[in-house]
Amino acid sequence: MFDALLFVVCLGLPVLWGVWRVQRRRVAEETRRTVMASVMDAQNNLLNNITCLHVCAEIGSPINTADLKQIDCAVRETQARLIEIAEANLQDTRDLGGIRVLSRPKPGLTG
């Protein structure tokens, strides 16, 4: 009886260890994909604003201070978003058109 129990335990532990490792790898891969999608989302927002400025310059439209402020704002927003991603709780995600991204923290109430 004891030999059978010892056999089951000895056989079961490596199986459980393997299942645990597979689960850990799956969670790590899902987290990596979520972080990459979040970084790519921030990057795409910045590139869209830069493309708008580039098109204005190509067609010969004068670039005014409003355009420059828009680009400066986009750079600052991207910087802030990347800092948020670096400090994010990796458990909080949301769906962005079928792609999992990190949720943005809710702004705190002041006053």
> Given this model, what pLDDT does residue 18 score?
82
In 1-111 the beta strands, taken as DSSP E runs, fall at 93-95, 100-102
CB atoms within 10 A of CB 43: 13
pTM (2 d.p.): 0.59
> Given this model, what pLDDT does residue 110 score?
41
Burial class, 102, CB count within 10 angstroms (exposed 0-12 / middle 13-18 / buried 19+) = buried
Structure token digits, residue 99 = 């792609």
CB-side exposure of 35: number of CA atoms within 13 Å? Answer: 16
> Given this model, what pLDDT does residue 9 score?
66
CB-side exposure of 21: number of CA atoms within 13 Å? Answer: 6
> Given this model, what pLDDT does residue 109 score?
41
Which residue stretches of the chain have pLDDT < 50? 108-111
